[in-house]
Chain A
């Protein structure tokens, strides 16, 4: 990343770049805490964003949460944090507590949803969210709303029929949509070569007559720029863009997976050399925008936030079993 042109002529807003870094670190630290809680037996399941923070923050910060909508997938912790979900809310969901805004403790962790924050509720069958995002974007187009929708998915999900159906629909109707594929090379254990016969997911864009853009996920600025361009295109009424962020996950698929069965430690180590957080921090430092003191202050702040969220969620009540039958159908809220 050191060789890149600085923001390709975009005005440099160092505060925004520091915000970018903050969210990358915050999501990494929250994620690490989740694994600790899992290993302590306090949480039955973790699914991680680790390694993909650069791609996630780069996209999310190029969006406007006041008018835009997102349909994230289970790896998008950094995306939902940028969109305004608080660390406390994240931990409430993680520990399946009553006040979890995503599902009141009904869904597995990382199935994010937050109406007020424009985060569409998601499920576990992959790729349904891309169709939902196209639908959100259709409403924006039909009603002349100022925002766009962005949908996030892994590269494995691009094999699903709904990926194709959604992109085709959005392209025909020129919907204000960005489809972000966080390509980490594996669908659980299945490597990309068994998933598709093309090198780049972005190659699929030509079949829909839309732009397909490849960006390096460890370079949040590149992701940010690509997203800004896609968003502007969408707002101009020119239709969707497919963005492929090349990335890698540093953890197993989930706390129930063992990735040693399908990828080597050497590969993992090589990939970790491109850790988006480290790369970005070093770059900020070479730009004289960051130093050890700022780093320590940030880490302390993040630790406090993560501790607070953990304590808060641990002390929060579980849902009452009597609420099992609530919300099967519409009922006016009290």
Chain B
């Protein structure tokens, strides 16, 4: 196995006593003081995550004629400058090569934010779909710090030269932090008010230390996974892969069909014929957590598998997402989770699992 890569913040994590794990070729902090504490900080205070392993590409070229608008499901022509949008890079069969966020910085300039494990294939795929324009992979020079939670604005504001209230949800600004170029985006993977900061590796440690000093609680990938699953957000490699379409993964509503994109015909056909698989969010009605790979059964027959599962501190129950065979699934028959020790009855539900407004 090749050596794990480290982010510019590795020394910070070591100093904080993080437990590190190998994740997609990176040595990343899974937790610092404990997943529950970090989760709580994000839901009720402010947490900071190092997500520098993720990839950033910059595109410069004609958005109409370069082929970039057909490369993914995101309509970059309709996207206003200063806004970003979630979408998919698909193969011809409609399978998901990656899920990503595209930022429109200018009439001819975009940023793509992609999953760490998919950087190489994404770059090759997008580049191969271009007739003109320049695509640059800046992942190795870029650090990404996510500041998330109801108090995010409060602690972040003093580092930002513009009023953070100017940023609506899924809006961003190219700006400066600590004298260095920074892209400040009001996005996140937690369901909370929050910001994602794209900065140069050189200032990342100083910025991290300053935000922690101000009270941001360092949080690892463990808490991040619980937070995203409470919101029902998909994770590449679990809900999404090249054999699964956005429709099958339950995220088809992110795809609009009023422009061309690779994979469109396959998705339209699936919409018409019905998708062979269906995504079912469920709760275990107990503290028992479902886990990735466990079988889902009805009437003693396997109908699918768990793609993600965890214990949710907000719901106080096990929560999970299952991918089931659409023909075998019967919504009127009790659903069971095969835990390997015994079967427990679970309940299909709607996303998100955690709804802040209803708390």
Q: Do A and B actually bind?
A: no
